[in-house]
Amino acid sequence: MCGIVGYIGSKNCIPVILGGLKRLEYRGYDSAGVGVLLNGVSKIVKNKGKVSLLEKKLEADKIESTIGIGHTRWATHGEPNEINAHPHANQDGTLFLIHNGIIENYQTLKKQLRHEGYTFRSDTDSEVIIHLIESFMKKGNAFQKSVRLALSEVDGTYGLAIINSKEPDRIIAARKGSPLVIGVGEKENYIASDVSALIAHTKNIVYVEDGEIVEVYADKFVAKTILDEDIEKDVIEVSMTLEEIDKGGHPTFMIKEIMEQHESVFNSMRGRLIMDEGTAKLGGLDTVVDRLAASKRIVISACGTSWHAALVGEYMFEQFLRIPTEVEYASEFRYRNPIIQPDDTIIFISQSGETADTLAALREAKRKRALCLGVCNVVGSSVARESDAGVYIHAGPEIGVASTKAFTGQLVVLALITLLVARKRDLSLADGKKIVEEFNSIPDKIRKILELNDQIERIANDFKNAKNFLYLGRGYNFPVALEGALKLKEISYIHAEGYPAAEMKHGPIALVDENMPVVFIAPKDSTYDKIISNIEEIRARKGKIIAIANENDSEIDRLADYTVKIPETIRMLMPILTVIPLQLLAYHVAVKKGLNVDQPRNLAKSVTVE
């Protein structure tokens, strides 16, 4: 989940690397470091903490170089400190490396290398790789071959960039399981774990695949497999702009991304709705839609927030498609030898398209010949490339660690898939047109909810010192309760639980007293009367009630201590609306506690390690 950046060319690499690391800091911010060559000699500067601290160190040293690599870390092996920060060097400093991933057999390799006389400075698994490369070079192998041989002995995942001070004309990069891209410029080239780190310099991108090693020179790159087979790589022009990944005048990325959801949701559905036919057009599914419609079973696999979107998708598919649907945590799905048949469809949801557990689950499902569909946000990501077919959510870059607009985009895409397949099965034209009409109203309804920001901020002020929260919903809004609780936990560090409202009496109600805020998602749908009964039960025990309700609901005002009134829509689309007040509530509670909402402690945006 770390961020890596590299540059080779004719200009000073330090500003390029620092700028890229700042763009990648959502991937990890425990420590940071840069390694360059100065007159053929390696120079490594690193520190505990954020990239801004590294920048001050480098300014003081006034370093300039035309080749270098940089790293911002999310700690896996070894605590966050300067010694464990990357880059890691060999014994004499002639080789240094940055690494994103986990080496599973590092203890075995470390024991072997110690027997050969190597000593280790850090507690990381990453340091093993650089000593292993040197070990092969000492046996007479060339630099590139030594990298290949070393990686053939490594079990685990990696995105790597390596510099050899004795061969200063190139950086060697390699990938297995961790994302890696090459940026192609004019007599200069770049390496990064994410396109966002490079977009200020080039839009020409090469995606490195698993098992590939790339020698990156200033004026060219040479790609081979780990078996030393030549590869032809395509250079792809990406459409992302620098403005898309800036804060746009907002104090944080998270509030920017919440506040642009009327636009991001519109982009997720733009050009995909056909009113005359009461259906959706999803070009990425054209070749597989009939097979999808004929599926005997659908499984949706995801992690974190995407798993909550998957739960909403389960409600959609079973209501409208009448196909049995299951939702699986990717981390569990991949390890328990799941029963998968060729007539199953497995949908994999991942904002980044690089989530390690989701990718592993995808590969297992493909091996068992199921139809594998990807739903992700990042164009060209591993999930997108490895799925049989899929749909992009087109939410735009999401930098805040706590996902907001990607979640609502995922809900839109799942609803579009539902509409498309339902019309292939037995949904009537009239009912299809009603759904399309409701779809078209959603962006404006989101805009109205965002106008409630000040009201929600006032509510947050009253609960910023709460120790616990309970979130309750029924039906489609039970997953929204889970997501609301997750958002609060992620960024405010307040313990929160999401439950189906009917389960409240099976344990959680024991926690309720006058200090317990309870958030009810209570739109006027078929479960409304039951929700009202649950609210009465909390009220009788003096819990503080915050209700997310519809604009025309006056009954709930007499029961709740706080109400947030939002527009109505059909049940399948309601979670797109009900989640937004919960995002804002979590955001404002965290800000009022003085916390960093974009980079919450211990978290990283894209979980590319297990």
Mean pLDDT of 383-390: 92
* Backbone φ/ψ region at 156: left (φ over 0), alpha (ψ -120 to 50), beta: left
Query: Which member of 2, 13, 303, 372 is catalytic?
Result: 2
Which one, of 313, 331, 561, 583, lies nearest residue 457 by Cα?
583
Three-class SS state of 225 = strand
Looking at CATH, the fold of the domain delimited by 452-597 is given as Rossmann fold (3.40.50)
* pTM score above 0.95: no
Residue 158 contacts residue 176 (beta carbons within 8 Å): yes
Q: Which two tokens stand for residue 563?
A: 């109400």
Determine the angle formed by the axes of helices 304-316 and 478-492, rounding to 10 degrees.
170
Which one, of 353, 342, 309, 340, lies nearest residue 327 by Cα?
309
* Backbone φ/ψ region at 295: left (φ over 0), alpha (ψ -120 to 50), beta: beta
The superfamily (CATH) of domain 3-244 is Aminohydrolase, N-terminal nucleophile (Ntn) domain (3.60.20.10)
pLDDT at 222 over 90: yes
Q: Say which range, 294-298, 359-363, 371-375, 516-520, has the weakest mean pLDDT.
A: 359-363
Strand ranges, E, within 56-156: 67-73, 88-89, 95-100
Kind and range of the H or E element at 583? helix 574-592
pLDDT at 215 over 80: yes
CB < 8 Å & 24+ apart, contacts of 333-342:
333/299, 333/301, 333/361, 333/364, 334/360, 334/361, 334/364, 338/299, 338/364, 340/299, 340/364, 340/365, 340/368, 340/370, 341/296, 341/297, 341/368, 341/370, 342/368, 342/369, 342/370
Three-class SS state of 460 = helix
Verify whether residue 605 is a known catalytic residue: yes
CA 296 – CA 342 distance, rounded (Å)? 9
pLDDT at 104 over 60: yes
Size (the chain), residues: 610
Summarised one tens digit per residue, pLDDT across range 4-21 is: 999 999 999 999 999 999
| 452-597 shares the fold of 247-448 | yes
> Is the bond leading into 87 cis (omega within 30 degrees of zero)?
yes
Summarised one tens digit per residue, pLDDT across range 438-467 is: 999 999 999 999 999 999 999 999 999 999
Q: Residue 509's pLDDT band (boundaries 50, 70, 90)?
A: confident
Q: What pLDDT shows up at residue 609? A: 45
Mean pLDDT of 19-47: 89
CA 432 – CA 274 distance, rounded (Å)? 9
Summarised one tens digit per residue, pLDDT across range 227-249 is: 999 999 999 998 777 666 677 77
Which one, of 402, 435, 232, 241, lies nearest residue 320 by Cα?
435
Mean pLDDT of 141-168: 95
Q: Which two tokens stand for residue 345?
A: 């469809």
Residue 294 contacts residue 343 (beta carbons within 8 Å): yes
Q: Look-up: residue for tokens 């989101």?
A: 446
Q: Residue 77's pLDDT band (boundaries 50, 70, 90)?
A: confident
Q: Which CATH class is domain 247-448?
A: alpha beta
Kind and range of the H or E element at 181? strand 181-184
Residues 6+ apart with CB under 8 A from 257: 264, 398, 399, 400, 404, 405
Kind and range of the H or E element at 35? strand 31-38
Q: Say which range, 109-123, 438-452, 521-535, has the weakest mean pLDDT.
A: 521-535
For residue 428, with 0-12 CB atoms within 10 Å meaning exposed, 13-18 middle and 19 or more buried, which class applies? exposed
Verify whether residue 376 is a known catalytic residue: no
Mean pLDDT of 307-320: 97
Mean pLDDT of 432-439: 97
Count Cβ neighbours within 10 Å for each residue of 89-118 and write b for 16 or more, e otherwise.
Answer: bbeeebbbbbbbbbbeebeebbebbeeeeb
For residue 367, with 0-12 CB atoms within 10 Å meaning exposed, 13-18 middle and 19 or more buried, which class applies? exposed
CA 275 – CA 564 distance, rounded (Å)? 32
Task: Give CA angle at 330 (326, 335), nearest 5°.
Answer: 105
Q: What pLDDT shows up at residue 610? A: 47
Domain extents in the chain = 3-244, 247-448, 452-597
Summarised one tens digit per residue, pLDDT across range 269-278 is: 989 999 999 9
Q: Which residues pair with 546 in a beta bridge?
A: 519, 562
Three-class SS state of 205 = strand
User: HSE (CB half, 13 Å, CA atoms) of 233?
Assistant: 25
* Backbone φ/ψ region at 93: left (φ over 0), alpha (ψ -120 to 50), beta: left
Query: Which member of 46, 256, 565, 605 is catalytic?
Result: 605
476 DSSP 8-state letter: G
